[in-house]
Structure 1
């Protein structure tokens, strides 16, 4: 059983073996941590990107509104950005936007 706090997770797993000798407890903890790290490594390898699932979801949530924008170049560094409600001038060279004024 995994919780967000590693100490709570280990304590909950050690409840059943507290009466065993210390060497058995140490072996159990080593096996437990080895299993946890192996499972996490397998999960990490299955991820399509270097980001976690939560980070990917956060980025996708931010990208969706930008897909409704129309971008019109003014010159090499400046662009006019239109969506249904707003219009802004974005200057990539100055790292500024008229919507943030």
Structure 2
């Protein structure tokens, strides 16, 4: 199930799901009740913004795959340099952001601005609004 959930291609997802079906039919039926779009990376209709793949531990393990035989102090220095590079790159990337939203999200909002011009928005509470078409 976990392998199917983390598959990046439908071919691999189908392979893992057929294995699950062969191993335990009830488990296969159970995970498909709500639909794979709720738990499967490849079938998700929305961008997950790498929620399942940006776990810091997974990223570090990936980078340390080839450094496992290093002495502990060398390994610690490698990890420190790697994290410094990551933080610097992310900081530099955020300096170029022109909006509070990501560029992709900002573009989606701009596509719908024309529709919003014909709406009347009245606040109900500090985070609840009543929206009516004018």
Deviations along 1:35-83, one digit per CA (max 9) or x if unpaired, are 001000111001112322243234334424325x3xxxxxxxxxxx5xx
Aligned to 2:98: 48
Cα displacement (A) at 1:4: 1.8
Q: Does 1:14 align with 2:64?
A: yes
Partner residue in 2 for 1:87: none
Match of 1:96 in 2: 130
Higher RCO structure, 1 or 2 (CA under 8 Å, sep 6+): 2
Q: Give the TM-score normalised by the residue count of structure 1.
A: 0.60
1:1-101 matched pairs, under 5 angstroms: 3-67=53-117, 69=118, 81=119, 90=120, 92=122, 96-98=130-132
Larger radius of gyration: 1
User: Partners of 2:98 and 2:83 in 1: how far apart?
Assistant: 25
Structure with bigger strand share is 1
TM-score, scaled relative to structure 2: 0.47
Please give the secondary structure, in 2, of the residue aligned with 1:16.
coil
Q: What 5-or-longer segments of structure 1 have no aligned partner?
A: 70-80, 82-89
Aligned alpha-carbon RMSD (Å): 2.7
